[in-house]
Structures are given as C-alpha cells and as structure tokens.
Structure 1
Amino acid sequence: MTAATIDIDIETTGRPNPVDTVRQTLSMAWRQMVRIKHNPFELVDLSLSPIMFLLLFVYVFGGQMAGSTSDYLQYVLGGLIAQNAIFLTMYTGTGINADLRKGVYDRFRSLPIARSAPLAGKIFADMFKQVWSIVIMLGLGLLMGFELRSVAGAVLAAVVLVFFALAISWVSVLMGVVADSEEKVQIYAFVIIMPLTFTSSAFVDINTMPGFMQAWAKVNPVTHLADVMRGLLSNGPIASPLMWTAVWAAAILVVTAPVAMAAYKRKMV
C-alpha cells in the first residue's frame, strides 16, 4: 500500500463529519478494488466456484431431484445464487483478519479517518464481488436453458441479494476481528453457513423434510432469500419472502454491526 493508493483529504483536527466518513469509506473501498486489479486471479476464483456448483448440482442431482436437469435448473438457480452470496461473505472476514495480523489497520489508525471507514470500505468493495458472481451464475444459467422471468426481476434480485449480503458481511467482520487466524475464520464460517444453507429451500422443497426440520426451514433466513431469488428470477411468490428477507437482513445488521465495531475498537486499543 502506498500513499497514492488511498486519497484522503480531511481536516487533521476533530472527528470526521459524515461527509468525510463517506468519502473515506469510498477511498478504502477503492483500495480493495485496486488489489483486484493487481491480482486478477481473485476474479478467476470468484468465477470458478459458482460455475462448478451450478454445473454439478444441475447435471449430477437434477434428474434425481426434479426428474430432469432442465426442471431442476429452474428451481435451484435462485438457491445456488443465494448460497454463493452467503459463502462469499466469508472472504470479508478472512481479508480483515489478514490485514489485522499484518498491521495494515494499525497504519490506518495513525490516519485522521473514521474508525469505521476501513471496515465499511472492505464490505462495500466485496459487494462488487457479489455482483460479479451473480452475473456469472445467471449468465451460465441462461446458457444452460434457464427461463428468466424478466430483466427487471433480475436487477431487483441483485439489489435484494446485495442488501442481504451487506448485512451478513458484518457477521463475517465480527469473526474476522475475534479470530486469531484466517483458518479459524473459515472454520467458524463453515460451521454457520453449511447448516443454514442445507436446511433451507435452496436445494429442495422443504415439504420433503422431516417435520421437525420443516419447522426450522420455514423460519431459516436462507429459505426466504432463496425463495425471493426464485420468485424474482423464475416463478413463485415474491411479497412474503421479500418482506422476511428484509426483516432478517435488518435484524442481523442492527445486532452484529455494533458488536463487530465494538470488538474492532477493542482490538485497536
């Protein structure tokens, strides 16, 4: 990181005002985007994983799950996009953990910037990765025969997904701050993400699950996210899952963002 990487122009006295904080956050986000420019392999990694998941789920499980790969594609694409978005938030936590251990945030602390700017900048930059993965998966799905409901529906689906991912990212931030290694961040994330995604409607109809699991699946936030993705991209109800997705995202954001910021401030003392 060089002085040219981050362009911060604020007063050196007093706390940054809201306008300064937004500008600093955008500067930090741009720093993360520049890293992709210098390491384009990150985009390759972001592309290969969703492609493999989509191909494997459709062509390996499609016939068993829905009787045909084409029918299963219509059902599972929205769920896979939801799952992939949640998995991508793990990179936010591992990136923050790596920067903390390497002393990058100690250097930020010496600058007259808002303490939230480095964390928020990292999260906003990672939203670009979310959009990139959505485009990759939806584009491949169309090539495989997915019948898109409408372009407007796809755009709204992307907006909803980014909003939900933004909230979940603060959970990843918290894990990145409290864990003492990137490996532990990944372990914590998998312990949370795997049960959430596989006990939802992302891959199967929850009515085929045992009764006790159906009760959980119906309130699982991933179920609502997968259902609204499915409704916006293909067919199905939209209003109810959209409402519950927004409620879950807001609740997660309100609870985890302050806790993550408090843990970050203690870490930087």
Structure 2
Amino acid sequence: MTITATRPSAHPAVPVAAGAGFLTSLKVFSVRSLKKSFRDGESMLMAILLPVLLMLIFTFIMGGAIDVGTGGGREAYLAYVMPAVVLTAAGFGASYTAVVVSQDVTTGFMNRLRTMPFPSVTVLLGHTVSSMARNLMATAVVFLVGFAVGFRTEATVGQLLAAVGLILLWILAITVIFALLGLVAGSPESANGYGFILLFLPYVSSGFAPVDTMPGWLQGFAEHQPMTPVIDAARALMNGRDPGADPWIAVAWCLGFMVIAIWLITVVFPRKTAR
C-alpha cells in the first residue's frame, strides 16, 4: 500500500484588527462615563443641590452676622463666599470619579478592557473628561443661583475668564487626584470615604471666613493649604480686584498636584490592570 502524503492546504491569513485609536477610544469612554453619571440621578442632584444649599445657608442664615471686612451684610458676604461655594461644588462633582473608577477596577472591567486593541488608559481619561463636563454644569448652576440671589460683580470679561480658567484648572487637578484614589481604593465605598476627606479643605481655608479669625494653631494650615490661594485668586478676579501673586501660587499648586497624581497613576495603573 502506498501512502500519499498530502500537504495541508494554505488558508488565507486572518486579518488582525487594527484596534481603535486614542481619540476614538477617548470619545467612546467619555460618552460611556457621561451616560453612566446621568443615569445616576441622585449623585448628579447631590453634586448640584448641596453646594447651592450651602450658599443659601451661609448667605441668608449666617451672612447677616458675619463681618468679612467688606462692609458687612448679605450681599458682601455672598461676594466673599461665592468662589468657595463654586469650588466646593467642583469637589463634590469630582468625588464621583473616584467611585466609578473604583467600580471599574473592582468589578474586573479594567482587566477585560486590557485584552482589547485600544489604549486602556483612555478609560481613566474618559472618566476625567466626563467629570469636567459634569462640573461645568454644576458650576454654571451655582453661578446662576448666585446671580439670582444677589451676586453682582464689577469684574471685566478678562477677569471673569481668568477666574473661570483657574476654577477649571482646579477641577482638573482634583479630578485626577480622585481618579488616583479610585485606583488605589479597595472598594467604591472606601474610595468615596477617602474623597470625602478632601472635601473638607474649603472649610479650613479662607473660603467661608477670613483666616485671621481662626484659632492661632489653625491659621498656619489654613493660610498655606492649596485651597486658600485658589479661592483668594478667584475671589479677587470675580470681584474685579487685583489678585496679586495668588493666581500664580494657585496654578503652581494645581500643576504640582497633577504631575504627582499622573506619575502615581502611571505606576499604579499597570499593577491594578494585569493581563
């Protein structure tokens, strides 16, 4: 018997998917994060409602009794407290980033995405873009309510744009920090708890009361913590005054936070999302 060897027939090579590009992936995950946040109506409501309530409480309940050295009265205190309320709103909005990032890590979503042909870091960037969009909306609402209850300004358009730009830079910095907290937290609940600590910073600053009215042992921290120059610079710009060196100090704080947080993310992210 003769055995005839047959050569395996050649099959055409299966084309390998090129995968999604960076911008396409960023768009996909930004939209995904936005849809997810808007479906969580309670979180969105609290991120907007709580700062508005704070502004109304401080203005109408405490504003008449607090003398901030600007002539007294509710209108003066509203002008004083407005930047702190806006930045508090930004903090509450950004804290949601820590929760959703932690959910993606703890549920294995990040690991599943690592096997797909696109830059996995765009998941974090998508959460950051979504947080910026949510915070812009919350900030706009706070400003509108502030104008409705009597906030007025003599600032020029350039000063207002500079104040808004500084606020946006702080929102970006704190969002990156919350994304890092979401990566290192063991659960969404603990991520929310870690973030809650940062939300107290505006209250221990010049945001709601002058630093020199605080106890001596607290004044050093309140004067030199990052929120004070951000708030002081935004307040001066929003009220048409010369902010001095505060904007540059605030920008330095924001950029420093972002550089450190991004570096830590590059270290932690590959370890949290192993193939």
Q: TM-score, normalised by structure 2?
A: 0.84
Matches within 5 A, 1:187-198: 187-194=193-200, 196-198=201-203
CA distance in 1: counterparts of 2:166 and 2:189, whole angstroms = 30
The structure with more radius of gyration: 2
Classify 1:42/1:90 alpha carbon distance in 2 versus 1 (closer, same or farther; 3 Å): closer
**Which stretches in structure 2 are left out of the alignment for 5+ residues?**
1-16
Q: Which amino acid aligns with 2:224?
A: V
Decide whether the 8 Å contact of 2:95 with 2:195 is kept in 1: yes
Decide whether the 8 Å contact of 2:63 with 2:78 is kept in 1: yes
Matches within 5 A, 1:76-225: 76-148=81-153, 149-194=155-200, 196-225=201-230
3-state SS, counterpart of residue 82 of structure 2: helix
Aligned to 2:26: 25
CA distance in 2: counterparts of 1:176 and 1:242, whole angstroms = 29
CA distance in 2: counterparts of 1:245 and 1:218, whole angstroms = 13
Percent of aligned pairs with the same amino acid: 23
Query: How far 1:11 moved relative to its partner?
Result: 2.2
Q: Does 1:244 align with 2:249?
A: yes
3-state SS, counterpart of residue 34 of structure 2: helix
CA distance in 1: counterparts of 2:255 and 2:133, whole angstroms = 21
Aligned to 1:3: none
Query: How far 1:99 moved relative to its partner?
Result: 2.0
**Which stretches in structure 1 are left out of the alignment for 5+ residues?**
1-9
Indicate which of 64, 73, 83 corresponds to 2:78: 73
Decide whether the 8 Å contact of 1:201 with 1:227 is kept in 2: yes
Q: Which amino acid aligns with 1:90?
A: S
Decide whether the 8 Å contact of 1:225 with 1:245 is kept in 2: yes
3-state SS, counterpart of residue 199 of structure 2: helix
Query: How far 1:29 moved relative to its partner?
Result: 1.0
Query: How far 1:143 moved relative to its partner?
Result: 0.7
CA distance in 2: counterparts of 1:40 and 1:91, whole angstroms = 12
Classify 1:36/1:169 alpha carbon distance in 2 versus 1 (closer, same or farther; 3 Å): closer
Decide whether the 8 Å contact of 1:227 with 1:237 is kept in 2: no
Aligned to 1:5: none
Q: Which amino acid aligns with 1:25?
A: L
Q: Deviations over 1:13-57 (max 9, x none)?
A: xxx8xxx32332232112222334555555433321221111111
Classify 1:213/1:130 alpha carbon distance in 2 versus 1 (closer, same or farther; 3 Å): same
Decide whether the 8 Å contact of 1:83 with 1:202 is kept in 2: no
Q: Which amino acid aligns with 2:31?
A: W
Classify 1:44/1:193 alpha carbon distance in 2 versus 1 (closer, same or farther; 3 Å): closer
Query: How far 1:241 moved relative to its partner?
Result: 1.4
Answer 1 or 2: which has greater helix percent: 1
CA distance in 1: counterparts of 2:215 and 2:40, whole angstroms = 46
Q: Deviations over 1:237-269 (max 9, x none)?
A: 324111011100111111111212321210111
Q: TM-score, normalised by structure 1?
A: 0.86
3-state SS, counterpart of residue 186 of structure 2: coil
Q: Which amino acid aligns with 1:58?
A: T
